[in-house]
Amino acid sequence: MNDKELLEKICSCRLADLADGMDAIGLVNIGSMSPLMRPIRPGISMVGFAYTVKLIPTQKNVKVCKTFEEYTEELNRWCSDTYSFFVPIAEGKYKDKDIVIVIDMGGYPGGVWGSEIALNAMKNGVVGAVIDGGCRDSYECNLEGAKVWCTVRTFNHVYGRVINGGVNIPIRCAGVTVNPGDIVCADDDGVLVIPRDRAEEVVEFALKVRKSDQKVRAKHYKDIGLPYDETLGDDIE
């Protein structure tokens, strides 16, 4: 099964189905991120391959700036390190790769994701972001349609707070080990990480779980008199 076919099959499942598929092959809780990891608004979902980032809290002193220009220069200098993970993305190297940026900040309340980088990411084909740390500009991110899951909401920048700790390395995000290329799935219920080398096994079970659930719920719908909806699929008897 190629990557495109795999993602299509995963997209047809709920996280609940996929989590049951993980359970079925013995991966209980292996990929289930902390319930603190939440979407910035309801009704969004995504599936993609992990592009991993490690950011480290720092105690470095920052310069006391006397002008806006001086502050801008210092901010750009700091961000050139912290946001170095974004350089290959901005250069278009991942535009057709269906990546989800997964950032391990250890829950630190710095707003590494905001309205500008969200737009830049969307423009460069990034599916979404999962951050064990902060998202800011929440209202604007939601207006833009950005797909973001995070453990913290904040107004703080990352300036003076975190530095680069590595890109496309194994990380620990909201209690889950995430390797580059793992499959990251997210919806209203949270975030699930499926090891790439086990994904086809998981999907095989998840699709059957989904179909069984649809059949049972369709009967309940009929008994109660509810109109059918899209969650029941297209082949309900």
Q: pTM value? A: 0.92
Residue of 94, 101, 169, 166 lying closest to 130 (CA atoms) = 101
CA 49 to chain centre: 9
Mean pLDDT per 10-residue section of the chain, whose length is 237 residues: 91 95 95 97 97 93 93 94 96 94 96 97 97 97 97 95 96 98 97 96 95 88 88 73
Give me the pLDDT at residue 86, please. Answer: 97
The pLDDT value given to residue 237: 57
3-state secondary structure of 149: strand
Distance of CA 226 to the CA centre of its chain: 33
38 CB neighbour count, 10 Å cutoff: 20
What pLDDT is recorded for position 236?
Answer: 59
Cα gap 168→150, rounded to integer Å: 19
211: which residues sit within 8 A by CB, 6+ positions away?
233
Task: Please answer whether residues 198 and 25 qualify as being in contact, where contact means their C-beta atoms are separated by less than 8 angstroms.
Answer: yes
- Asked whether 110 and 157 are in contact (CB, 8 A), the reply is yes
- Paired with 135 in beta bridges are 113, 153
Amino acid 230: pLDDT: 84
Contact 131, 105 (CB under 8 A): yes
Q: What pLDDT is attached to residue 55?
A: 98
212: helix, strand or coil:
helix
CATH class held by domain 31-191: alpha beta
Phi, psi of 122 (to 5 degrees): -60, -40
* Residues 78/70, Cβ–Cβ less than 8 Å: no
pLDDT of residue 235: 63
Amino acid 91: pLDDT: 95
Q: What is the pLDDT of residue 231?
A: 84
- pLDDT on residue 92: 93
CA distance 97 to 80: 24
Q: Determine if residue 148 is left, alpha or beta; phi over 0 gives left, psi from -120 to 50 gives alpha, anything else beta.
A: beta
Dist CA 111 CA 2 (whole Å)? 35
Contact 194, 182 (CB under 8 A): yes
